[in-house]
Structure 1
């Protein structure tokens, strides 16, 4: 909610130039539907009417999280029912996504031609909806439960680890390659496209999950060494604030321009580096001045509550 207030306040006093329309739309939307962000249902608001549109995943993640206690309960009490529940959830998200893709003839890649009906449906009916995104979350929850409950190492040889790494790399390669291949198919909508839409994010999550699992089992190699670098710790601590503000800074920069930018690789490189540096600085400031104080306040309240309970 602080980021919503920051957007409205910052954009309201900015001297917008010729390219200000989209930023003004963000301000108007936030003044009208800010409550959807507060209730974490903003992923059900269509793109052109949303406030802080990039925060749709916060709502989806919260909605996913609401199902987690049930999965944890079954994992500790009735594992056979956990298998049944997980199977049903996978089938549900797969079926809904495939049907939506077929019904609206959704493209494989992120579309840019807003004149097409399929493009509008891509964002309003598919892209941010939790029932189309649940597969990867379910993969992560199952991996976490498995790692937590396993008593002995699962991988017992380098051969097993090598097969796993090769499978993960091949899966990632196929996800990327099929996106280009299916995008170049004929004008008639292929069932393969719907199948790809329903599966590719889950397959990618399974490959990433293998990397995490292999590192935890001691078969991560140089990947584990890279991910264990200490430099990632401070970046991780400010990553949430950076996620909230980086599109805001990009829109602010664009809205302050008086003319269109001439595209070139060097211009885009400088913009990328500039946006990254600015985002890291603003993210650090917001983490120190907003996020960390509220975290400390939460810990203090929890400590006070424990003392009252003991009394």
Structure 2
């Protein structure tokens, strides 16, 4: 049975699951520590091909397509990729690019990778033996990680008094973006919320969970309220005379974690059969292709939009239908570009990577089985000798 296919199929979201799916890798701390280089290598190789291809395209193609009144913006992005491509490939552009990021939206990819780098500090404790206090150790580790990230984010936000967005205080826009918006610290709580839910799903994989209807109803109600609250709490911050620093600090500290908690329950409920129509909708076959292309669309979508806007020679008069029409045009164009790049780059490399890691995994399994057979042979030697002696006599 398939649950939440759209949420679970992204290539950048399966690396930790890939590790724990193999019991020979995840059964103890020693095995995990031994395989950390492989843990990082799998992640980097999964992300690298499409990212490198997108950087190459951005550094060579867009500024040659056309021209227009705002073409300096396209040339600026192209030059940023020519100068800082290596920062993006190393996933440190959110700290060292100084406002000149190659493929600007990849700051989020950098944050995600940096959190992935530190995730073994928590994951190693999740590999504790299940006997005794193993589960308790894992829960304590992931909960401590979440609480620590929330506390650190809260202290950081309340000390710096960031605006809730760059439109509230435009004069602080660059400071807000550099020190809050693309900062790994302020983006960490949702990551640890995801680890908590992931651990819960891992422990209950293949098991049937029976939850009271009242509890399920309360959780879905709370999820709806939390998601609505996370969205509509921003409304007063966009009014003309808004000035409430305490609310800004509260939103900056907790709203992203709140959204992640609600989304985590949605996935957990769908996986265990309590998703109802939401699970049915997210499990439709039509989401498989968009989920497969989502990473490429994320990398490619901004360049065509910037190119089209930089070519315009007349003002745009806003209407709802015109905006919807242009939105669907951008979506379809991004989809087609992502489809082509995925076929040309990502699919071949993902197949090669799968063959590489399966070969390594089969080799390890063969060695493990061989060692086990050797041990069994050693233990069985006295029995065989005794049987042979009985046969002879």
Q: Normalization by structure 1: what TM-score?
A: 0.89
The match for 2:182 is 128
The match for 1:251 is 306
How many positions carry a matched residue from both structures? 309
Note if 1:194 corresponds to 2:245.
no
The match for 1:65 is 116
The match for 2:37 is none
Q: 1:105 aligns with which of 140, 157, 161?
A: 161
Q: Distance in 2 between matches of 1:51 and 1:113?
A: 27
1:141-193 CA deviation, whole Å, 9 max, x = no partner?
11111111137544422111101101111111222232223555966543232
Note if 1:207 corresponds to 2:236.
no
The match for 2:106 is 55
Give the superposition deviation at 1:277: 0.8
Give the superposition deviation at 1:92: 3.6
Counterpart secondary structure, 2:233: helix
Unaligned runs of 5+ in 1: none
The match for 1:271 is 326
Q: 2:73 aligns with which of 14, 22, 35?
A: 22
Q: Distance in 2 between matches of 1:303 and 1:34?
A: 31
Q: Distance in 2 between matches of 1:204 and 1:165?
A: 13
Q: Distance in 1 between matches of 2:169 and 2:82?
A: 25
* Compared CA separation, residues 253 and 187, structure 1 to 2 (3 A): closer
Note if 1:178 corresponds to 2:229.
no
Note if 1:74 corresponds to 2:125.
yes
Give the superposition deviation at 1:241: 0.7
Q: Distance in 2 between matches of 1:206 and 1:237?
A: 25
Question: Does the Cα contact within 8 Å between 1:241 and 1:286 map onto a contact in 2?
Answer: yes
Note if 1:233 corresponds to 2:288.
yes
The range that moved more, 120-129 or 185-194, is 185-194
Superposition map of 1:4-19 within 5 A? 4-19=55-70
Q: Distance in 1 between matches of 2:187 and 2:194?
A: 12
1:256-297 CA deviation, whole Å, 9 max, x = no partner?
222332222222122111111111111100110111011122
* Compared CA separation, residues 92 and 3, structure 1 to 2 (3 A): same
Q: Distance in 2 between matches of 1:294 and 1:114?
A: 45
The range that moved more, 160-169 or 144-153, is 144-153
Give the superposition deviation at 1:84: 4.5
The match for 2:17 is none
* Compared CA separation, residues 168 and 308, structure 1 to 2 (3 A): closer
Q: Distance in 1 between matches of 2:240 and 2:150?
A: 22
Question: Does the Cα contact within 8 Å between 1:97 and 1:198 map onto a contact in 2?
Answer: yes
Note if 1:33 corresponds to 2:79.
no
Q: Distance in 1 between matches of 2:234 and 2:300?
A: 30
Give the superposition deviation at 1:91: 3.8
The range that moved more, 14-23 or 45-54, is 45-54
* Compared CA separation, residues 92 and 185, structure 1 to 2 (3 A): farther
Give the superposition deviation at 1:205: 0.5
Give the superposition deviation at 1:87: 4.4
1:188-243 CA deviation, whole Å, 9 max, x = no partner?
54323212211110110010111111111211110011011000011111111111
Q: Distance in 1 between matches of 2:76 and 2:147?
A: 38
Question: Does the Cα contact within 8 Å between 1:18 and 1:259 map onto a contact in 2?
Answer: no
Q: Which structure's CA Rg is the greater one?
A: 2
Give the superposition deviation at 1:26: 0.8
Unaligned runs of 5+ in 2: 1-51, 129-133, 368-393
* Compared CA separation, residues 16 and 48, structure 1 to 2 (3 A): farther
Q: Distance in 1 between matches of 2:76 and 2:168?
A: 19
Q: Distance in 1 between matches of 2:268 and 2:324?
A: 35
Give the superposition deviation at 1:95: 3.5
1:46-77 CA deviation, whole Å, 9 max, x = no partner?
67311111011111111111233332221231
Give the superposition deviation at 1:124: 0.5
The range that moved more, 231-240 or 170-179, is 170-179
* Compared CA separation, residues 166 and 18, structure 1 to 2 (3 A): same
Question: Does the Cα contact within 8 Å between 1:47 and 1:53 map onto a contact in 2?
Answer: no
Cα RMSD (Å) of the superposition? 2.5
